[in-house]
Amino acid sequence: MKRYKRRLYVILSFILCLSVVDPISATTISELRQEVKKNQSQLKNAQQKADEAQEAQEGVEEEMEEIDAELVNLITDINLCEEAINDKEEEIYRTQLDYDAAVAEKDEQYASMKIRIQFMYEKGDSSYLHMFFGAGNMGDMVNKAKYVEELYDYDRKLLTEYEDTVKRVQELWDTLEEDKSELETSKTELQEGQAYMEELLAQKKEEYENYSVMLTKAKQEAATYTARIKQETAQIRKLEEEERKRREEEERKRKEEEERRRKEQEALLADGDADSEEAPKKQETPEPTSSGGGKGQDIANYACKFIGNPYVAGGTSLTNGADCSGFVMSVYKNFGINLPRSSYSQSTVGKGVSYSDARPGDVIYYGGHVGIYIGNGQIVHASTERTGIKITSATYRNIVTVRRIV
């Protein structure tokens, strides 16, 4: 009877050891992961706002540079226009002198012709007849007639030259005045354009300052959410480490208890009990397997083939070198899936899942860096030029988002 009690005690002890103890802090870890997921979403929104503000600010900055260049051109044109106006005014001044000289010459010629005309009017044609008949001979008469003709031709020539000069000077005067008027009009238009550009530049500067405020605010929000994620991730790591140690301790105690029971059973069997039953078989612990499968697991397995290959900034070659986003893009391309080139763009594809639900093949974005989750808390990624493509703990940096593409 005593031996039966001992055997019953051993069986009950074995059953109690098989009972599962609730994981410590499981609720706390779950809540923290949910909080991390929420903060990751808020961080992504803040980063998107910052990117949009940064892009808008850069656009305004480019517009300001264009306006500045246009202002320089306008001011240069105004200066050239002013110089041209000064040159025209100098030409007009010189033309005025020529014009005045021509007018004086005209007045002088007119006065001479006026005296001659007055003399002829007072004397009438008899003066010419007297001059002719007073000639001593026919030759003298011919000479005097020729002299009168030459005098007349001379007067006509002077008058014609004077009229041509006055006409030419007047035409030049009109042209210079017209040119000057056009230049002054151009100058006015350029000054109006300068005023408009200066006003537009002031508006753009105000927009630039507004985007600066928006960018600063978005960066502050992003910093806040980043700090929260970092703190919560650290708490999760601490709790997971405590859970791991607790499970290791439980496993150690379980094995010790199994060993103790095994020895007790051997001792009981050694008593020679003919009716003894076979000792309970040792419970086999199943081998751990990674979560997920299917195409995602195929992607993870394929990505691991390139471990050790080089990191090359801007590269997309899985053999000759790739950067982080180029590596992810090329791995997925092998499976007929086209991803965008930049890491930030890759953080927007597929659907977001929590890290606790991550499966092999998921893309993990850390803010400026991406990797492919391969299970068991690890990622494969193109890390640095020094280390190349390698496997790293998935929580080695603060996770911004986990994207499921397949």
Which domains are seen in the chain, by residue range?
1-128+154-285 (1.10.287.950), 294-404 (3.90.1720.10)
- pLDDT the model gives residue 152: 66
Residue type, 3: R
- pLDDT the model gives residue 160: 79
Residue position matching structure tokens 């892009």: 55
Say how far apart CA 57 and CA 61 lie, in whole Å: 6
Is the pLDDT reported for residue 67 higher than 90? no
pLDDT in tens, 146-181: 666 666 676 677 677 777 777 877 777 777 776 676
Q: Is the pTM of this model over 0.95?
A: no
Cβ contacts of 350 within 8 Å, gap of 6 or more: 363, 403, 404, 405
- pLDDT the model gives residue 118: 60
Q: Do residues 387 and 309 lie in contact, with contact meaning Cβ atoms separated by under 8 Å?
A: no
Is the pLDDT reported for residue 18 higher than 50? no
pLDDT in tens, 351-372: 999 999 999 999 999 988 999 9
Query: Which residues does the annotation mark as catalytic?
Result: 324, 369, 381
CA dihedral 162, 164, 170, 176 (to 10 degrees): -130
- Give the residue with greater pLDDT, 334 vs 119: 334
User: pLDDT above 70 covers what percent of the chain?
Assistant: 70
- CA end-to-end span of the chain: 64
Token pair in block for residue 197: 């550009």
- pLDDT the model gives residue 214: 81
